[in-house]
Structure 1
Amino acid sequence: MNDSDPQRVVREELEWEPSVDDAHIGVNARDGIVTLSGTVNTYAEKLAAERVAARVDGVKAIAQELEVRDAFMRPEGDDDVARRCTEALSWTVTLPKDRVKVRVEHGWVTLSGELEWNYQREEAFEVTRKLRGVKGVINNMTLKQRPTPSDFRERIKAALVRNAQIEANGIAIHTDGSKVTLTETVPRWSERYAAEYAAWAAPDVMDVDDRLTVI
């Protein structure tokens, strides 16, 4: 693809995606790097726009310059946003009670605390990112240390092979205790996301270092 092709396709994908209002989103592409600029109404919409761009063939990286700016609502106070986050987290049955701490500054939410599983950490992020008044989420949740099984690497490799979205043969897996490093190449940005997700899903993974290159 030349530079104009991913730019055009990303624009078309943004127009097609119902969860994104692309009226104020600018798209620029150069050497496989797509820059998203302009404004959106919510943080959830900002992340959705990034996912749309990532699934386009030829996109190797994304520069995220979108700002969250809702022109139709009054500015939210940090206390209102914090209260909304706390209530939403307390109603989420997959999260242990009172384990997620919330701090809000200028609309940016910081999550902290310790959880058992990465899916819980991702759930806390998903719950808060969709709330009104949230401009961004910093996920500082940590995972509780557990013993690492001896067949750690093979279990992750098997998970990658089972995933129909991933060309597992092109991915190298390195383990160091409970840390997993993914290297080598994948053909699409969406496969990189899927590989990282599959690695996180393995029991006892505490950290995933995604060094995969999109070619």
Structure 2
Amino acid sequence: MNDLALRQNIIDELGLEPSVDAANIGVAVEEGVVTLSGHVGSYAEKIAAEMAVKRVKGVRAIAETLEVRYAGHKHHADDEIAARALDIIEWDALLPDGAIDVRVQKGWVTLSGEVPWHFQRVAAEKAVMKLGGVVGVTNVLSIKPASSIPDVKKRIEGALKRNAEVEADRIQVDVSGGNVTLKGGVTGWRERSAAERAAWSIPGVVSVTNDLAVRG
């Protein structure tokens, strides 16, 4: 697929995504690398736009400079955002009490602390990303499993083989302790993301470095 056709497909996909107002988003494509520019109305909308682009076949990489612009009446002070973030984390039954620290600076939320599972790390970020006034989220929560889990490499390879979205034979899994590195090639962002999710799904994994190349 040439860049012109890919750009049009991306524009069409953004236009069909109900959570995105694509009117103020610019799209440029060069050799399969997509650049998004312009502005959106919330951080959640920014993430939705990125996910929509990743769904399009032929996208090799994304560079985005989308700016989050809230209307004046939707402006929230940092202390208000922080209080709401702590409340929503506390209310989430999936998240451990008192384990997550929140810092907010000019609307940008930083999450820190330790949780036992990766899904809790993801849940914490999803919990705060839709709050009004948030312009970005940095998630530096670390994973500290409750106990050592054997055969992490074997379990990941099994998970990759079971995943219908992944060609497991093209993926090499290296494990050192709970640190996982994925190498090899995939046909698109969907497969790349599916492989990373499969690795994170295994108990005992504390980090995943995704070096999978999108080769089309």
TM tier, shorter chain? over 0.9
Given the two structures, how large is their TM-score scaled by the length of structure 2? 0.96
Distance between the aligned counterparts of 1:153 and 1:113, measured in 2? 26
Q: Is the 8 A contact 1:44 1:129 kept in 2?
A: yes
**What is the letter of the counterpart of residue 164 of structure 2?**
A
Long gaps (5+) in structure 2: none
3-state secondary structure, aligned to 2:73: coil
3-state secondary structure, aligned to 2:56: coil
Instruction: Quote how far apart the aligned CAs of 1:71 are.
Output: 2.6
Runs of 4+ in 1 over 4 A off after TM superposition: none
Aligned to 2:3: 3
Instruction: Quote how far apart the aligned CAs of 1:72 are.
Output: 5.6
Aligned to 1:184: 184
Instruction: Quote how far apart the aligned CAs of 1:75 are.
Output: 2.1
Aligned to 1:112: 112
Distance between the aligned counterparts of 1:70 and 1:15, measured in 2? 21
Q: Is the 8 A contact 2:74 2:132 kept in 1?
A: no
Please, which moves more after superposition, 59-68 or 164-173?
164-173
Aligned to 2:123: 123
**What is the letter of the counterpart of residue 59 of structure 2?**
V
**For 1:22-171, what aligned pairs fall within 5 Å after superposition?**
22-71=22-71, 73-145=73-145, 146-149=147-150, 151-171=151-171
Number of aligned residue pairs: 214
Q: Is the 8 A contact 1:148 1:177 kept in 2?
A: no
Given the two structures, how large is their TM-score scaled by the length of structure 1? 0.97
**For 1:187-202, what aligned pairs fall within 5 Å after superposition?**
187-202=187-202
Among the aligned pairs, what percent are the same residue?
A: 47
Distance between the aligned counterparts of 1:74 and 1:199, measured in 2? 39
Instruction: Quote how far apart the aligned CAs of 1:148 are.
Output: 3.8
**What is the letter of the counterpart of residue 31 of structure 2?**
D
Instruction: Quote how far apart the aligned CAs of 1:143 are.
Output: 1.2
Distance between the aligned counterparts of 1:74 and 1:190, measured in 2? 34
Q: 1:154-207: CA deviations, max 9, x gaps?
A: 110110111111111111111111111000100011111111011011010011
Q: Is the 8 A contact 2:28 2:34 kept in 1?
A: yes
3-state secondary structure, aligned to 1:76: coil
Q: Is the 8 A contact 1:53 1:59 kept in 2?
A: yes
Q: 1:84-103: CA deviations, max 9, x gaps?
A: 11111111000011111100
3-state secondary structure, aligned to 1:173: strand
Long gaps (5+) in structure 1: none
Instruction: Quote how far apart the aligned CAs of 1:74 are.
Output: 3.8
Please, which moves more after superposition, 124-133 or 160-169?
160-169
Instruction: Quote how far apart the aligned CAs of 1:153 are.
Output: 1.0
Q: Is the 8 A contact 2:55 2:190 kept in 1?
A: yes
